[in-house]
Amino acid sequence: MLDYLNVAENVLNNNLFVKQDEQILIITDTELRDIANIFFQAGLRMKNETMLMEMAPRLKSGEEPPKTVSKAMQAAEVILCITKHSLTHTNARKKASNAGARIATMPGVTLDMLKNGAISADYHEVVERTAKYCELLNQGNQVEIKKGDTCLSFSIKNRAGIESTGVFKEKGEAGNLPSGEAYIAPIEDSANGTIMIDGSIAGIGVIEEPLTLEIENGRLTAASGDKGKELLELLGSGAGRKIAEFGIGTNNKARLIGNVLEDEKVFGTVHIAFGSNKSFGGETEANVHIDCVIKNPIVSIDNKEVRFN
């Protein structure tokens, strides 16, 4: 237990830069209360005013927390969201960021992830690598992803890239922890083509047999196999099927383990997501956000191949 307390205290000090007089709010659910309690105890050990707030698990990533939780988040200075499903792309998180809170979201985090993999990265390197790929996104207009005999293209023109580094120093900064990705909201109706998913899918896990997604005018219209059917059910029949995100993994210590919190950060992978993206520059509110990871794709931005080295 002491080892995990030390890791949690290191996160509070070196990723969230908690000051002596700041209040820490930890949002959790009945699934991850034990891990959340480690961070609660670490906050107390640092002698910060630390609060632990527990709710019922959300049914899927991107689903809003209760109003009481959302209000509490807007009053906090430092927030950790240690929940089964992600609160990253929710209005509650966005409102708390706008109120000045520094927020680390840790959906599905495990004890193993607190000691190994992405959390152990040199975050100075992660910051530098993420900035490099984010600059490519900011300068680009058109993205093309090829995998096997599939190809998907979409526009990112005039959209701003987001650096998710796992380091939160300034008011309003938020993102996953562990982290390491550069991501952007594509123009919602611009995506067309097919793409093979062979890494993992949020809420489903590692993909044993690749599935193919068909996307027309920014909307997911078909997905092959049993896992494809499961994905469509998670997204629902409405706005959840709109393309929401394109991301590039930038953490060279991250592993493909079936937990999208770490999977989408693996250096050499990219991911696309469907559902909500209004919290990071898009137009869609869907109460769901599901990421799909692609291993070793060929990615071009404005017809120039992106190098992963």
Give one DSSP letter per residue of 2-61, joined into a string: HHHHHHHHHHHHHTS---TT--EEEEEETTTHHHHHHHHHHHHHTT--EEEEEEPPPSST
User: Which residues are paired to 195 by β-bridges?
Assistant: 213
What distance, in Å, lies between the first and last C-alpha atoms of the chain? 37
Q: What are the backbone dihedrals phi and psi of residue 3, each rounded to the nearest 5 degrees, phi first? A: -60, -45
Share of the chain above pLDDT 90, in %: 98
Pairing of strands 211-216, 219-223: antiparallel
Give one DSSP letter per residue of 164-192, joined into a string: E-S---STT-EEESS--EEEE---TT--E
CA proximity to 182, closest of 246, 226, 119:
246
Distance CA 259, CA 274 (A): 17
Residue 127's SS3 state is helix
Distance CA 121, CA 270 (A): 18
pTM as predicted? 0.88
Fold of 2-115: Thermophilic metalloprotease-like (3.40.1830)
CB 261 within 8 A of CB 106: yes
What's the mean pLDDT in 12-35?
A: 97
Q: What are the backbone dihedrals phi and psi of residue 294, each rounded to the nearest 5 degrees, phi first? A: -120, 125
What's the mean pLDDT in 247-269?
A: 97
Q: What's CA 81's distance to the chain center, in Å?
A: 12
Pairing of strands 219-223, 200-201: unpaired
pLDDT in tens, 118-151: 999 999 999 999 999 999 999 999 999 999 999 9
The half-sphere exposure of 82 on its side-chain side, counting CA atoms within 13 A, is 27
AA letter at 30: T
Most distant pair of Cα atoms in the chain: their distance: 56
Distance CA 14, CA 5 (A): 14
Domain boundaries, the chain: 2-115, 120-305
pLDDT greater than 80 at residue 2: no
pLDDT in tens, 190-240: 999 999 999 999 999 999 999 999 999 999 999 999 999 999 999 999 999
Distance CA 89, CA 55 (A): 18
Pairing of strands 102-105, 174-176: parallel
- What is the pLDDT at residue 309? 82
Q: What are the backbone dihedrals phi and psi of residue 256, each rounded to the nearest 5 degrees, phi first? A: -85, 100
- What is the pLDDT at residue 277? 96
- What is the pLDDT at residue 1? 67
- Helical ranges in the chain per DSSP H: 2-14, 33-45, 67-75, 91-98, 111-115, 123-139, 225-235, 260-263
AA letter at 82: I
Distances 150 to 10, 57, 146, 211 between C-alpha atoms, Å: 43, 36, 6, 11
What's the mean pLDDT in 3-12?
A: 94
Distance CA 38, CA 7 (A): 9
